[in-house]
Amino acid sequence: MTNQPNKSEEILELFAKDPDKGMEMMFRTYFGLVSSIVYRVLNDSALAEDISQEVFLSVWKNRETIKITSSLKSYLATAARNKALNYIRDNKVKFAGGDEMPEVPDMTPGVEKEIAGKALKKRVTQLIDLLPERCRHTFVLSRFENLTYKQIAVEMGISEKTVENQISKALAFLRTGLASFLDEK
Amino acid sequence: MENLNKKVWDLSENYDKQLNPNIDAAWSEFDRRRKSLTDTKVAKRSFLLPLSIAAGLALAVGFFFLNRPTGQQFQNLATSENQIENISLSDGSEMWVNENSSISYFSSKEDERTVSLEGEAYFEVAPNKAKPFTVKSGKVEIKVVGTAFNVREIKASGAIEVEVKSGIVEVITGAKKVQLKKGESVIVAAEKLTKKVGNNIGGWRTKEFIFNKQSVADILEEIQRVYDVKVVFRNRDLEKCTFTTNFQDESIDNILEVIATGLGCELKKVNDTSFVLKGGSCS
């Protein structure tokens, strides 16, 4: 499934003419993208699929009034991020776990044999996934969703100072865990 | 230090979080959910909204999908923390809505017996064989003709739990369904139905609990949920102990005192909502 630059427009055109067909094309083209964004934020694949369904359901429910002024792709990416944020906001209880940082795990043996890039990917993913939930949310929203500290603070109902602390904690944890990759340079 | 942080920040680019969902399955699921919606009829507008507002609006409008012809009293009730509401419907059914939940229903239309729920509620449904009473909660539909049952959305997992106090209840999700009798319960997660034996159904409403040889972990899970407290074990082995006891609308201090005494633990109250159990053993 390639995303030619005009794919987005093509889908929107079809959507305007034939909502049923347009919806299916939109869904098949972007469900993977939307669910990956939600998954990256929430780190729960079943939840990510469910919330992604809701993203597209919102589009469908509002098909008569919806006006997409940017590209469809970035519209859906923003909607995905917002739905994930809403979920965090509405489920504070679920994410209220401790902030205690885990111990940095040893590298899996045999990792040197893998291609360097692959090993790095694996290690980074392992480390980020290990962060305490609140710390992970903060880091991911800042790093990958490009939210400002202020936006994160508002969305998560914490102070900007806390956001800052969580990011430094995450960075410190990653720094320790990635030591062998940092040394090489 | 700053330089190192920058390097780490750059390296974290490698966070590999891709989901490769089965698109065909996801599309059928979408198609099914889409068809179960009642279409919202919103007047066509022609002006352009800034994207962020449009996106926000799109999400907000979604919550009003239960749009029906006028002339019926459509009600929506949301409870806050520590608030339990009792609602009597015109068909004679009653609902108790637990804290942090919301429910939508028709208050005056006797033949409209469908409510939609987010959170937890206990239902006592007036019998009417001709017109089943339906509760919708997430992807789950619960159909009954006259019975008492509890529906709960388990926040941590998003699963829906249905427990039957009396009568027969039909629980439907996707293409699957199961019938439950008195004392049975089911957990619906990811369209899988797992049947189990239920007890203390709607205990949050009456604070009456009967525990018969249940694990301390299960007992405490329920007590913590209903009383909104946190109980920490120093000795994790105790979670597997079983315990038989019952409580009739007692205070949390009394309940924990009974459990602590039974297990030979020392009970320490940290504050009004958190407790620690130290020592003890299964006896």
Please report, for chain A, the start and end positions of each structural domain, with discontinuous segments joined by +: 7-90, 111-183
- Which residues of chain A from 20 to 49 reach within 8 Å of chain B, CB to CB? 23-24, 27-28, 31-32, 35-36, 39-40, 43, 45-49
pLDDT at B240: 81
Whether residue B83 sits in one domain with residue B115 = yes
User: Å from B188 to nearest chain A CA?
Assistant: 13
Q: What is the pLDDT of residues A80-123, one digit of tens each?
A: 998 998 888 877 656 666 778 888 887 765 555 455 667 888 88
A180 touches chain B (CB under 8 A): no
CATH of the domain at B187: 2.60.120.1440
Whether residue B224 sits in one domain with residue B156 = no
Last residue of a domain, one of B147, B167, B197: B197
Last residue of a domain, one of B170, B197, B224: B197
Whether residue B134 sits in one domain with residue B84 = yes
User: Å from A12 to nearest chain B CA?
Assistant: 15
Whether residue B162 sits in one domain with residue B237 = no
User: Å from B5 to nearest chain A CA?
Assistant: 6
Whether residue B109 sits in one domain with residue B190 = yes
Q: Which domain holds residue B169?
A: 74-197
Whether residue B221 sits in one domain with residue B149 = no
Name the CATH code of domain A111-183 (choices 3.40.430.10, 1.10.10.10, 3.40.50.300, 3.60.15.10): 1.10.10.10
Whether residue B95 sits in one domain with residue B191 = yes
Last residue of a domain, one of B197, B224, B251: B197
Would you say residue B260 has pLDDT above 80? Answer: yes
- Which residues of chain A from 94 to 113 reach within 8 Å of chain B, CB to CB? 94
Q: Is residue B12 part of a domain?
A: no
Q: Is residue B4 part of a domain?
A: no
* ipTM reported for the complex, 2 dp: 0.85
Whole-angstrom Cα distance, residue B52 to residue B102? 27
User: Å from A96 to nearest chain B CA?
Assistant: 11
pLDDT at B245: 83
Q: What is the pLDDT of residues B222-258, one digit of tens each?
A: 888 888 888 888 777 787 888 888 888 888 998 998 8
pLDDT band at B85 (very low <50, low <70, confident <90, very high): confident
Q: Please list every residue in chain A whose beta carbon sits closer than 8 Å to the beta carbon of residue B55.
A: 75, 78-79, 82
Q: Give the number of domains in chain B.
A: 2
Sort strands B94-97 and B85-88 into parallel, antiparallel or unpaired. Answer: antiparallel
Other beta carbons less than 10 A from residue B129's beta carbon: 7
Tell me what percent of chain A is helix, strand and coil, each rounded to the nearest 5. Answer: 70, 0, 30
Whether residue B184 sits in one domain with residue B95 = yes
Number of A/B CB contacts below 8 angstroms equals 146
Domain covering A7-90: architecture: Orthogonal Bundle (1.10)
A182 touches chain B (CB under 8 A): yes
DSSP chain B: -HHHHHHHHHHGGG--------HHHHHHHHHHHHHTSPPP------SPPPHHHHHHHHHHHHTT-----TTS-EEEEE--TT--EEEE-TTS-EEEEPTT-EEEEESS-TT--EEEEESEEEEEPPP-TTS-EEEEETTEEEEESS-EEEEEEETTTTEEEEEEEES-EEEEETTEEEEE-TTEEEEEETTEEEEEE--STTHHHH-EEEEEEEEHHHHHHHHHHHHT-EEEESSGGGGG-EEEEEEES--HHHHHHHHHHHHTPEEEEEETTEEEEES----
Q: Is residue B29 part of a domain?
A: no
Q: What is the pLDDT of residues A120-152, one digit of tens each?
A: 888 899 899 989 888 999 999 999 988 899 889
Binary contact (B58, A62; C-beta < 8 A)? yes
Q: Is residue B5 part of a domain?
A: no
Strand partners, B78: B102
Interface test with B, best of A24, A75, A141, A171 (most B CBs within 10 A): A171
Whether residue B184 sits in one domain with residue B89 = yes
